[in-house]
Structure 1
Amino acid sequence: MRRLLLVVLLLPLIIAGWLAWDYHRFLHTPVNLAEATEFQVPAGASLRRVGQELAAAGIISKPHYWEIHGRLSEQDQGIRAGEYLIHPGLTPEDLLALFIRGRTIQYSLTIPEGWTFLQMMRAISAHEKIRNTLAEDEYMNVMAHLGRPGEHPEGWFFPDTYLFPRYTTDMDILRIAHQRMRQELARAWENRAEDLPLKDEYEALIMASIVEKETGRADERTLVSAVFNERLRRGMRLQTDPTVIYGIENFDGRIRRRDLRADNPYNTYTRDGLPPTPIALPGAAALHAAVNPAESRALFFVSRGDGSHHFSTTYQEHRRAVIQYQLGGDASRYGR
């Protein structure tokens, strides 16, 4: 009888001890995976639901232990939705910490410097991990969605590589890129040189977009900027091909004489001053160069054909450079 009574008294302690051991073992035993596996935590999912889905996927074996651990550690309300990569070495305890920190799988989108707004929008639309909310016919109204109705979207998005979780929307990316551009532009304008012929930040953005399209060489950006700023200061037309190209619908890669003569708001051969909007998305270096031109008297430049340019202070010098670098040294072929 005493033995039976002893067993009855000790049995709950034995069961409790075994449960505590089993619970501890569950929390610290790596999950049942042979290789890294993606797992989606749905938006608004409870601790219990996530545990059940982990069990259904064969990742954990005892979802009730999972739920108990979350409640005991007071982490039952902090799980973040998203797509996670679960590695074989993680334990259930690690999993909960992973979901609480929200370390989701990150995807990337690279927007190169010098792309146009439409090139950027098409890349966003084509990205399989971005959720598109804008139809193509809504692209030009995107600034209204950003709280700036009536503004032209060209130039207002900073080119960079952006990381984001799956199901991020196109507007989420655009908001981030737009805010970055406003910050970078404000920084450049605040640190601008004195006596610029540019009236405000927007004109600086337009100038930066032209600099971005005219040269990809870091050592030439401020020289290109010097030419265009000096031309503005003297009342000379900018006469820059990238603005002409921007104004041509369905540009085929070749500028013809008729293109230089066809008047439109972006043709800086026929119009004075800056074009009405930027012509591309300028990077930080172009923004800086636009408002900090080099100390140079150059008014002209021409491509050498190797990615660099020859800068000239007089038209006569420029004419000779054009003959040398673009017409093969044959003055009889010089046409403009």
Structure 2
Amino acid sequence: MSQQTFLPPNRSRKKRVIFITIIVLLLLVGGAFFYAQSRLTPVDRNSNKKVNVTIPQGSSVQSIGTVLKKEDLIKSKSAFRYYVKLTHVSGFQAGTYLFSPSMSLGEMVEKMEKGEVSKQPDIRVTIPEGRQLVEIADIIAKNTKFTKDEVMKKLDDKAFVNKMKEKYPDVVTDEVMQKDIKHPLEGYLYPVTYDFYDKNVSLDEILDKMVGKTNNVLGQYSGQMKKKKFSAHKLLTMSSLIEEEATAKVDREKIASVFYNRLEKNMPLQTDPTVLYALGEHKDRVSYKHLEVDSPYNTYKVKGLPPGPIASSGLMSIKAALHPANTDYLYFLATPEGKVIFTKTLEEHNKEKAKHITGKEKQNTEK
């Protein structure tokens, strides 16, 4: 009788499981690879359709992907984001591009990276960070056919403000219409470059685009705002104070920490830009007389945040308002050289002030 060799049942079962697992993994990897590849191919290789797509200055990869998907130029927003990340694209140039569903995702990315625009804008409006509404109105007037008075009248028009509230309800809320607010949309026109490809563009369209940009920017931080119980109005108000106090050399997160520390201790914020905003005029220096101005925006006389933003803040200040540094500072002082000195006590603050401000003024007087 011949003998047969049998593997123990458990060893045989283990081999079968390993073999099947390897096959499944290969199929999954292969399937995932081919699926990913299919996401990068043209939506329709045979399409003759041409689409003008405008990419504003400072647009995020996410917002660009949203626009391309909305125009049916790509198959997947997530595939677009991953492609840009994996190919280490350095950045996209603003402008209007001529795309087609017959183009691959890679071809469109290359055009935007090189700045191969289809045409130049008829109107370009650049809003620097830290500008107040009246200054922005002046910038718009200088670059369009509209006067400064027309721009301000539209911005303060209740019907237009309500239109923005309806279109962007998560950002433009009833808070902008509080009785002490100087201008409802102060701080709501995002500081960036705007291109328009129609010389007859309406004022409503111009301002709508600027408010819409603020809506898009804050939308990226909605989760963080909710966690901190920040309304858009509160965030824009705090970030505007940071923006107005900041210099190129300063740590905005530290400035934010001073404001939050003072609020926590029920101390007035005592920030000069709010006084200047209350006065409605620029001054090289705020005097003790100016500090007496009777206004809800005067943070020397009124505790807490002012009724609303005092300028349009950029992304760095918005981030600082959301993520202040963890410090014990209650004071900061900007020197004539642009350096900002942070201190914990009034005694320390006055000592630095005497050294960098009053001391130098005295020296200049004696000279």
On whether the aligned pair clears a TM of 0.5, the verdict is yes
Which ranges of structure 2 fall in alignment gaps of 5 or more residues? Answer: 1-46, 53-96, 101-116, 167-172, 177-183, 363-367
Could you tell me which of 277, 285, 291 is aligned with 1:260? 291
Matching residue of 1:49: none
**How many residue pairs were aligned?**
240
Matching residue of 1:301: 332
Matches within 5 A, 1:241-280: 241-280=272-311
The structure-2 alpha-carbon separation of the partners of 1:79 and 1:265, relative to structure 1 and needing over 3 Å to count, comes to: closer
Structure 1 residue 254 displacement after superposition: 3.7
C-alpha contact (below 8 Å) 1:111/1:161 kept by paired residues: yes
| Matched letter for residue 183 of structure 1 | N
Matches within 5 A, 1:319-330: 319-328=350-359
CA distance in 2, matches of 1:100, 1:319: 61
CA distance in 1, matches of 2:264, 2:51: 59
After superposition, give the CA deviation of every residue in 1:62-111 in whole Å (9 maximum; x if it has no partner).
xxxxxxxxxxxx99x9999xxxxxxxxxxxxxxxxx99989443132100
What's the TM-score, normalizing by structure 1?
0.62
Matching residue of 1:173: 206
C-alpha contact (below 8 Å) 1:131/1:167 kept by paired residues: no
Match of 2:196, SS state, is: strand
1:146 aligns with 2:173: no
Could you tell me which of 213, 218, 221 is aligned with 1:188? 221
CA distance in 2, matches of 1:318, 1:115: 28
| Matched letter for residue 164 of structure 1 | F
Matches within 5 A, 1:130-145: 134=150, 136-141=152-157, 142-145=160-163
| Matched letter for residue 312 of structure 1 | T
Structure 1 residue 182 displacement after superposition: 1.8
1:105 aligns with 2:123: no
Superposed CA RMSD in Å reads: 3.5
Matching residue of 2:317: 286
What's the TM-score, normalizing by structure 2?
0.57
The structure-2 alpha-carbon separation of the partners of 1:219 and 1:302, relative to structure 1 and needing over 3 Å to count, comes to: closer
C-alpha contact (below 8 Å) 2:134/2:152 kept by paired residues: no
CA distance in 2, matches of 1:113, 1:260: 25
1:163 aligns with 2:179: no
Identity %: 26
Could you tell me which of 111, 117, 124 is aligned with 2:140? 124
The structure-2 alpha-carbon separation of the partners of 1:289 and 1:100, relative to structure 1 and needing over 3 Å to count, comes to: closer
Structure 1 residue 119 displacement after superposition: 1.2
| Matched letter for residue 105 of structure 1 | Q
After superposition, give the CA deviation of every residue in 1:244-284 in whole Å (9 maximum; x if it has no partner).
10000344444221210222111000001000010000011
Matches within 5 A, 1:49-88: none
- Largest Rg, 1 or 2: 1
The structure-2 alpha-carbon separation of the partners of 1:192 and 1:218, relative to structure 1 and needing over 3 Å to count, comes to: farther
Structure 1 residue 185 displacement after superposition: 2.2
